[in-house]
């Protein structure tokens, strides 16, 4: 799904959001509607329009969803991981952490730490539904399947291996891995405090990409900035123009030049490189590493693992093993996806082609 344009306005209590979007043949409109409702702290419906307001300051934090371990054993094949992640995505089951390994005889053991959007995975009916969908997708190569509730001692926010994460996250600074410096070009950001007596105007011109609105909004969220009015339009293909009237949490304009500079710097970095993708040599093996920043609230970027698996399936490249972890460097936390490529199956595909395909799929340019 892509945005064509957007209008945002608020009076400080109620928000009015209008999106003009382009769907795909497989767009699940009912699921989109349900997730938008769930994302609103509270809501009411009138003529098909959702209105949401800010929760009271003393509202309790929402209960964390139960965490389950999905264990799946089957024979390996190209596209297997994508087929599994596609099933979980369709069933509204979120992958929080994964550990995938392949044995020398071509058998795969997948361990997925997951949460259920519907909060029904503790029931026999829901587990049977997951099994049937996975069975249809995998076929007779499925050897075993199990789902169990894991205790509070298991955490999905475990740190990724510090050695490869630190190397990768510092690569663009040191210039050690220039092949991973994919960026979205032509980002222009301007700040204007003269057009509105009460708001700071942020004007952004950039290329469209998958999650563009998410990248902008999570940045404002991390800076504790509120959007009062906004317009988002796409012109001439990927070119986007965005006007946002914003205020600080105290309701005032952003007049401090240091705060303006920090905000512009972060926005530019997030829009130029919302994800980082690079192929690296690890001894005899080749690893695909993908990272994305984590929100201050602890939430990671949606659907990254799904899109990595999709991209590799499209170029007939097998995944030997995969891990998801988190790593803190400086003042940022990052989600790190470590995918070991099966070189025997991917020799016909140049490494630069794998890297480019994954980047373009994650950016929605495929």
Residue at 26 is within a domain: no
Please count the other Cβ atoms lying within 10 Å of the Cβ belonging to residue 234: 20
Q: Which of 272, 304, 336 is the last residue of a domain?
A: 272
Residue 212, Cβ density class (10 Å: 0-12 exposed, 13-18 middle, ≥19 buried): buried
Do 226 and 352 share a domain, yes or no?
A: no
pTM confidence score: 0.74
Sign of the CA dihedral running 194, 195, 197, 199: negative
CATH number at residue 214: 3.30.70.260
In a domain, residue 261? The reply is yes
Residue 40 lies in a domain: no
pLDDT digits (tens, 9 = 90+) for 326-359: 888 878 889 999 898 876 554 567 888 889 999 9
- The count of domains in the chain is 2
Residues 296 and 343 in one domain: yes
Considering the domain architecture, whether residues 288 and 163 belong to the same structural domain is answered as yes
Is 145 part of a structural domain of the chain? yes
Summarize the confidence of residues 191-207 as an average pLDDT.
94
Residue bearing the bigger pLDDT, 27 or 90: 90
Instruction: Tell me which residue range forms the domain holding 106.
Output: 67-170+276-363
Task: Name the pairing type of β-strands 68-75 and 142-149.
Answer: antiparallel
What is 215-269 written as a DSSP string?
HHHHHHHHTTEEEEEEEEEEETTTEEEEEEEEEETTS-----HHHHHHHHHHHHH
User: For residues 255 and 10, what is the distance between their CA atoms, to the nearest angstrom?
Assistant: 21
Whether residues 110 and 155 fall in one domain? yes
The token pair that represents 288 in the structure block: 């695909």
Domain check: are 197 and 327 in the same one? no
Assigned domain for 83 exists: yes
In a domain, 80, yes or no: yes
Do both 268 and 280 map to the same domain?
Answer: no
Does the residue 127 lie in any domain?
yes
CB 326 within 8 A of CB 335: yes
> What is the reported pLDDT for 320?
80
pLDDT of amino acid 157: 47
Q: What is the pLDDT of residues 203-254, one digit of tens each?
A: 999 988 988 989 999 999 999 999 998 888 887 777 889 999 999 999 999 9
For residues 268 and 136, membership in a common domain is answered with no
Q: Contact, 121 vs 114, CB < 8 A?
A: yes
- Residue 342: C-alpha distances to residues 16, 24, 104, 313, 351 (Å): 49, 32, 12, 12, 12
If asked whether residues 166 and 282 sit together in one domain, one would say yes
Please check whether residues 281 and 254 belong to one and the same domain: no
Residue after which a domain boundary falls, among 237, 272, 307: 272
In this structure, are 76 and 114 located in the same domain? yes
**For position 73, what pLDDT does the model report?**
94
Q: Is 41 among the domain residues?
A: no
Q: Which of 227, 252, 272 is the last residue of a domain?
A: 272
Q: Looking at the structure, tell me whether residues 158 and 290 fall in a common domain.
A: yes
Residues 154 and 282 reside in one and the same domain: yes
Q: What is the mean pLDDT of the segment spanning 24-53?
A: 60
């Amino acid at each position: 799904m892509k945005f064509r344009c957007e209008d945002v306005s608020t009076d400080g209590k109620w928000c009015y959001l209008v999106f003009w979007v382009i769907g795909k043949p497989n767009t699940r409109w009912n699921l989109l509607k349900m997730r938008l409702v769930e994302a609103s702290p509270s809501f009411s419906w009138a003529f098909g329009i959702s209105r949401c307001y800010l929760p009271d300051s003393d509202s309790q934090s929402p209960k964390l969803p139960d965490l389950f371990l999905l264990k799946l054993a089957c024979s390996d094949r190209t596209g297997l991981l994508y087929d599994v992640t596609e099933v979980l995505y369709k069933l509204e089951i979120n992958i929080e952490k994964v550990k995938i390994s392949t044995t020398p005889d071509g058998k795969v053991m997948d361990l997925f730490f997951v949460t259920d959007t519907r909060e029904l995975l503790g029931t026999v009916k829901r587990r049977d539904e997951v099994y049937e969908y996975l069975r249809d997708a995998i076929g007779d190569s499925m050897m075993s399947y199990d789902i169990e509730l894991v205790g509070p001692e298991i955490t999905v926010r475990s740190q990724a291996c510090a050695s490869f994460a630190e190397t990768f996250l510092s690569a663009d600074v040191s210039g050690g891995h220039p092949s991973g410096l994919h960026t979205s070009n032509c980002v222009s950001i301007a700040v204007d405090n003269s057009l509105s007596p009460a708001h700071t105007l942020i004007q952004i011109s950039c290329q469209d990409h998958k999650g563009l609105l998410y990248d902008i909004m999570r940045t404002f969220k991390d800076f504790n900035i509120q959007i009062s009015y906004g317009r988002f339009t796409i012109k001439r293909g990927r070119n986007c123009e965005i006007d946002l009237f914003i205020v600080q949490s105290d309701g005032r304009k952003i007049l401090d030049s240091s705060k303006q500079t920090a905000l512009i710097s972060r926005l530019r970095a997030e829009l130029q490189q919302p994800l980082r993708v690079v192929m690296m040599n690890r001894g005899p093996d080749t690893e695909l590493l993908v990272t994305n920043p984590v929100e201050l609230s602890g939430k990671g970027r949606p659907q990254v693992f799904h899109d990595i698996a999709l991209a590799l399936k499209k170029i007939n490249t097998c995944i030997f093993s995969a891990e998801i972890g988190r790593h803190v460097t400086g003042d940022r936390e990052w989600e790190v996806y470590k995918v070991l490529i099966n070189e025997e199956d991917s020799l016909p595909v140049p490494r630069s082609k794998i890297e480019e395909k994954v980047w373009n799929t994650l950016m929605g340019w495929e």
